[in-house]
Amino acid sequence: MVEIIDLVLLGMLAITALRVIFLKDLFAVVMLFGLYSFLSALIFVNLDAVDVAFTEAAVGAGISTVLMLGTLALTGRKEKENTHTAVLPLLVVIVTGAALIYGTLDMPPFGHPDNPAHEHVAPRYIEESPKEIGLPNMVTSVLASYRAFDTLGETAVVFAAAIGVFSLLGLPSKGNVAIDSGLKSHLVLRVVAKLVIPMTVLFALYVQFHGDYGPGGGFQAGVIAAAAIILYALVFGLPMATQVVRPNFLKVLASLGVLIYAGTGVASFFLGGNFLDYNVLASDPVVGQHIGIIVIEFGIGVTVFAAMLGIFYGFAAQAERKNIQ
Amino acid sequence: MSFIVDYYNYWIVVFLMMAGFYIVISANNLVKKIVGLNIFQTSVFMMYISIGKVQGGSAPIVADGITSYSNPLPHVLILTAIVVGVATTAVGLALVVRIKRAYGTVEENEFEDKDALI
């Protein structure tokens, strides 16, 4: 059964990707890309990667699509007729693809429990991590404890990307307020949005603090919380949203999250352990691991929230400025 | 049939990769190029998750009565890769917006000739 669902969903994914190549209307391309992300999220669920599916649905289908639409609002939605000949790219793609397909024949069969990928560290994570770290969700254990150093780097990359967007596009300032901002005349939308936004924030908090026990964690929670404010900005207008969460506050938050994360590492360093070794945070190592993971997941959530919302503000402020001119 | 089931995931991944690659090298429009890059990126994610799957396994969250779990390591790597991916996509899109402002176009062949303007 799992195999049949896999075959059908992957087939649909291939058709979506093929369609993206031929469409000239970029709005449709971006919508299809959102669909593509949702389909991949479904496939991830089918392949047991629930945490990944969660992230892909929130990030790929949510934030990426919003950012691409924001870009389209500034650059136009029609792709011009392509004057290049398609022969050379097609040839390159076919040759590369054929070589890769030939390479897959040497790969171990899909899903086999004896595959090399399941031999090395995976059994240790699966057998030892519930005892060593004390969390049911092994993905969180590996992400926040065994490979916490990687995750610190990735949080720093998100922070750096936010800095990049802030310096390229700038954040909304107080001066430029568009007269007709948001969808204030749509009464139904306003009422529904007011109902949905608190629920979304509550859900983000649940995902943040329940990530040790179920799918979720700081990355997903940050994106979901940002999505709640983005919804507010879309319905009530950017000027209102910047009153709720100020752009300058976001700059502080983005760096604060990385600071909390790295600070936890430094704290365990000074308590006599290695950098990011949470065992020394409490007298009982398992309790120490719990404290460490909750704190750094909070740091991740704060940085991701601030970065995603700040990036959205950057794009929205550009579109707003274009509206005024 | 079992031969197809064994390798189907990898073949689709290669197809998606090549679709994304084709869009990146053949598209003229920068926004479409970024969409292509994202399709390529998602196909790599799919590859890793396919490798992590264990037949008859369950999601790697401890529960009573479950003995076989899928490999959690690829899940961790890809989870963070997705968030980093959207962050870098945002930087790419921001550059597209700046290119539009500087050259008045996001079609590659049109701003290639305008280098003298900047």
CA A148 to chain centre: 18
- List pLDDT tens digits, range B53-98: 988 888 888 888 888 899 999 999 999 999 999 999 999 999 999 9
- The pair of structure tokens assigned to A224 is 């979901």
Which residues in chain A are closer than 8 Å to B84, comparing Cβ atoms?
154, 157-158, 161
Mutate: best of A8, A25, A32, A64, partner B, most B CBs <10 A:
A64
User: Can you tell me whether residue A325 is helix, strand or coil?
Assistant: coil
Distances (CA, A) of A102 to A113, A143, A296: 23, 34, 43
- Which pLDDT score, from 0 to 100, does residue A176 have? 53
Looking at every residue in chain B, the average pLDDT score rounds to 88
Q: Which of A232, A300, A78, A71 is nearest to B91 (CA)?
A: A71
Task: Round the CA-based radius of gyration of chain A to a whole number and report it.
Answer: 23
**A144 neighbors A155 (Cβ within 8 angstroms):** no
- Which pLDDT score, from 0 to 100, does residue B64 have? 85
- List pLDDT tens digits, range B21-65: 999 999 889 999 999 999 999 999 999 999 999 888 888 888 888
- Which pLDDT score, from 0 to 100, does residue B109 have? 78
Does residue B18 carry a pLDDT above 70? yes
Task: Confirm or reject contact between A235 and chain B (CB < 8 A).
Answer: no
ipTM of the modeled complex: 0.92
Return the DSSP state at A212: T
Nearest-by-Cβ selection for B95 from A33, A168, A311: A168
Task: Confirm or reject contact between A53 and chain B (CB < 8 A).
Answer: no
CA B74 to chain centre: 15
Distances (CA, A) of A231 to A49, A240, B53: 27, 12, 35
Task: Confirm or reject contact between A123 and chain B (CB < 8 A).
Answer: no
From first to last of its 325 residues, chain A has per-residue pLDDT tens of 778 898 899 999 999 999 999 888 999 999 999 999 999 999 999 999 999 999 999 988 889 999 999 999 888 888 887 766 788 999 999 999 999 999 998 888 888 888 888 888 888 888 888 888 888 888 888 888 888 999 999 999 999 999 999 999 988 876 555 555 667 778 899 899 999 999 999 999 999 998 888 888 899 999 999 999 999 998 888 888 888 899 999 999 999 999 999 999 999 888 888 888 888 888 888 888 989 999 999 999 999 999 999 999 999 888 877 766 5
What ranges in chain A are assigned the alpha helix state H? 2-22, 26-46, 50-56, 65-75, 87-104, 122-132, 138-141, 148-169, 187-210, 218-236, 238-244, 247-270, 285-324
**A218 neighbors A211 (Cβ within 8 angstroms):** yes
Contacts of A158 (CB under 8 A, 6+ apart): A303, A304, A307, B83, B84, B87
- Ordered domains of chain B (ranges, CATH): 2-54+66-117 (1.10.287.3510)
Does residue B118 carry a pLDDT above 60? no
**B92 neighbors B86 (Cβ within 8 angstroms):** no
What is the reported pTM? Answer: 0.92
Measured in degrees and rounded to the nearest 5, phi and psi for residue B115 equal -55, -35
Q: Chain B neighbours among A 171-230 (CB < 8 Å)?
A: 213-215, 219, 223
Q: Which of B118, B91, B103 is nearest to A161 (CA)?
A: B91
Which residues in chain B are closer than 8 Å to A314, comparing Cβ atoms?
94
User: Can you tell me whether residue B107 is helix, strand or coil?
Assistant: strand
Q: Which of A231, A184, A183, A182 is nearest to A204 (CA)?
A: A231
Measured in degrees and rounded to the nearest 5, phi and psi for residue A297 equal -60, -35
- Which pLDDT score, from 0 to 100, does residue A110 have? 87
**A292 neighbors A278 (Cβ within 8 angstroms):** yes
Q: Which of A44, A38, A33 is nearest to A67 (CA)?
A: A33
Taking the CA atoms of A309, A315, A316 and A318 in sequence, report the sign of the dihedral they define.
positive
Task: Confirm or reject contact between A29 and chain B (CB < 8 A).
Answer: yes
The whole-angstrom distance between B118's CA and the closest CA on chain A is 17
Q: How far apart are CA B31 and CA A167, in angstroms?
A: 20
Q: Which residue has the tokens 């897959």?
A: A104
Task: Confirm or reject contact between B23 and chain A (CB < 8 A).
Answer: yes
